[in-house]
Amino acid sequence: MGGNSLQFLLTFVLFLFCTKPTLSCIEQERQALLKIKEDLIDDYGHLYSWSAEEGSKDCCKWRGVRCSNQTGHIIMLNLNFSNLEPLRAHFSELTKLKYLDLSNTSLVFNFSSDWVPPFQLEKIALWSCQLGPQFPKWLQTQKNCIWLDISNSGISDSLFNSYWIFSPRLIYMNMSHNQISGHIPNLSLEFSSRPTIDLSSNKLEGEIPSFLFKVTHLDISNNLFSEPALFLCTTNNRNLSILNLSNNQLLGELPNCWMHFEGLKILNLANNRFHGKIPNSIGSLLGIEILDLGNNSFTGELPSSLKNCTKLKFVSLRDNKLSGKIPMWLGSSHPDLVVLFLRSNHFFGSIPSHICHLTHLQLLDLALNHISGSIPKCINNLTALTSPISTIGHLYKGPLDFFHCDDLAFWLWKGRDLSSNLGQIKSIDLSSNKLTGPIPREIMELVGLISLNLSRNLLTRRITTEIGALRSLEVLDLSENQLSGGIPSSIALINSLNFLDLSNNNLSGIIPTGPQLNTFNATAYEGNPNLCGFPLPKKCPGETNQNTAVNRGDDHAGIQETEDGFITPGFYVSVALGFVIGFLGVFGTLLLNRSWRFSHFNFLNNVKDKMNVTVVVNMARLRRQHQT
């Protein structure tokens, strides 16, 4: 018995040591949360669980609240709910708070300037809150902060003497989309980890300090930085994977030290003032997927070292002064290429057939160059354009995934910015070159095309009658060429077409009509002396006015369809036979089968009787209502 008692005692003691008591929240902190709720307008009941009732007293179970398992203190407060309209907030009782997320709530912070929070936060998420116009002084007291997001928070302060912002323990910082100005202090700072820093869309200026390049993701685009680009060679960081310096005023030649950044996957230097040749060391970026050097003043030929960057998916070298022939390796060395922008340069020679090896290509823009020769017939090998399904989406999936294809591309057509819909666009733009010969029939196999622009070239011969196969087209521009013959009536089958320009060619005959074609005005066809019919003022033989052309559009379409070979005598025979067989199949059966005939007419009689009864009842009801 003694042994059993001892065993029971030991078991009981172990049970006491191993069993953790269930902790509820601290009453003082619960009351503080209830005060916060009183100061919030919650029309949608997001904070329904925040209640003083008996069954809801444990605030650790309230929505957006998390408590410490050891102490019961509130350590996380997440009010990241839409449709909350706050007046003010009380946080003085939440002494152990570590994570605060009030983002996207339009909170207006009215703390006194000398307020010192009783807590030390590790994560602060206050994006789209009203913090400004100055940096809140209470933020300077948060020495343990490793995650800070105060983007789009109405701050228009200067970074002067703001050393406190850049902590060595930083993991993530986002202060984008504010009006922050001044110079970033040049700190001798070593981060304990490789953080992500986003200072984009502000008014920062001066020199970019070298410590910023000791990160994994750096976005300082859309600012006013203007110092020469030599700062790039002051750092050696093989862990930097995203670098976005676009839309600044950076100038000078691009330094030849890209071997120091071998880990780069995204490099965006677009819309600056760089000049000179693209350095050979750019070929050291073996893992790069997105390269945007557009809208600078780069000169010379493409460096052959670029063929080493075999993982490229997006290349934009638009609006520069690059010259030479388009190299053949551009097609053979980059099998995953989805977007290729070379527009507005000085490239010459023919389009290499190796371009046809880019089976994933969805956007090809070679406009505004000096390219000659014919359009390659192998263009139907661009198999990504043979399907309406888009594969662009996010060209790069990073750990935080805040770089989208739309951020990196600016796609212009006829002065319209279509970059917001870039992920849905499949386009070929070869306009403003010196291309000759016919439009290849093979291009009509690219049925996923949204936009086709071959204008301002020297293309000849007829427009193929198969153009109606491009049912997804929204933009078609074949203007200012030397195309001849009639306009194929099959073009009326493209119901999605919202822009058409066939002007200034040698086209002739009747303009086909259709529901979509009738929406275009005369400018779509002007400059073709031998064209006639609506909407041109020139009448076709037998027409009395422009309206006749519209009313007889179907007749004109029928005439032209016969010329194009789409409607033959066999078509009319098939229609007649189909009508006769269908008619006999229904009414012949009723004539031959007596029971079916009786059932059919009995059904019609029942329907008629029900309709009569319904009408009589409703009329009587209306009379009674009128008499009362």
Q: Give the model confidence (pLDDT) of 142-190 as tens digits.
A: 888 899 999 998 899 888 777 778 888 889 999 999 999 999 888 887 8
Global pTM value: 0.78
Alpha-carbon distance 467 to 444, whole Å? Answer: 6
Give the dihedral sign, CA 613/616/619/620: negative
Using CA atoms, how far apart are residues 587 and 585, in angstroms rounded to an integer? 6
Q: Which regions of 444-526 does DSSP assign to beta strands (E)?
A: 451-453, 458-462, 475-477, 482-485, 499-501, 506-510
Residue 501 β-bridge partners: 477
User: Mind giving me the DSSP string for 537-558?
Assistant: SSPPTT--SHHHHHHTHHHHHH
Whether 537 contacts 546, CB under 8 Å: yes
Closest of 141, 47, 35 to residue 91, by C-alpha: 35
Handedness of CA 447, 451, 454, 455 (dihedral sign): positive
Q: 11: how many CB neighbours lie within 10 A of its CB?
A: 10
Q: What is the pLDDT of residue 232?
A: 77
Residues of the chain with pLDDT under 50: 1, 8-10, 12-21, 87, 394, 396-420, 546-566
Residue pair 552/540 in contact (Cβ under 8 Å)? The answer is: no
Query: CB neighbours (10 Å) of residue 121?
Result: 23
Token pair listed for 316: 């934009």
Main-chain phi, psi angles of 310, to 5 degrees: -75, -10
**pLDDT at position 3, please?**
53
Task: Give the Cβ contact number of residue 614 at 10 Å.
Answer: 10
Predicted local distance difference test score (pLDDT) of residue 404: 43
What pLDDT is recorded for position 15?
A: 43
The owner of tokens 């009801």 is 621
Cα 374 from Cα 202, distance rounded (Å): 47
In this predicted structure, what is the pLDDT of residue 605?
Answer: 65
The phi-psi region of residue 201 (left if phi > 0; otherwise alpha if psi is between -120 and 50; otherwise beta) is: left
Residue 342's closest CA among 333, 355, 357, 360? Answer: 355
Q: How far is CA 155 from CA 159, 202, 245, 296, 514, in A?
A: 11, 10, 22, 31, 55
- 57-60 own/partner pairs: CB under 8 Å, 24+ apart: 57/24, 57/30, 58/24, 58/25, 59/24, 59/25, 59/29, 59/30, 59/33, 60/23, 60/24, 60/25
Question: CA–CA separation, 250 vs 229, rounded Å?
Answer: 7
Q: Rounded to an integer, what is the distance from CA 515 to the centroid of its chain?
A: 31
Helix (H, G, I), strand (E, B) or coil at 267: strand
- CB-neighbour burial class of residue 389 (10 A; exposed 0-12, middle 13-18, buried 19+): exposed
The Cα 244–Cα 400 span in angstroms is: 15
Strand partners, 179: none
For residues 252 and 227, what is the distance between their CA atoms, to the nearest angstrom?
Answer: 9
Question: How many Cβ atoms sit within 10 Å of the Cβ of residue 327?
Answer: 19
How big is the chain by its Cα radius of gyration, in Å? Answer: 35
The answer to whether the bond into 537 is cis (omega within 30° of 0) is no
Cβ(386)–Cβ(445) below 8 Å: yes
Q: How far apart are CA 429 and CA 427, in angstroms?
A: 6
**Sign (positive or negative) of CA dihedral 223, 225, 226, 230:** negative
The pLDDT assigned to 227 comes to 81
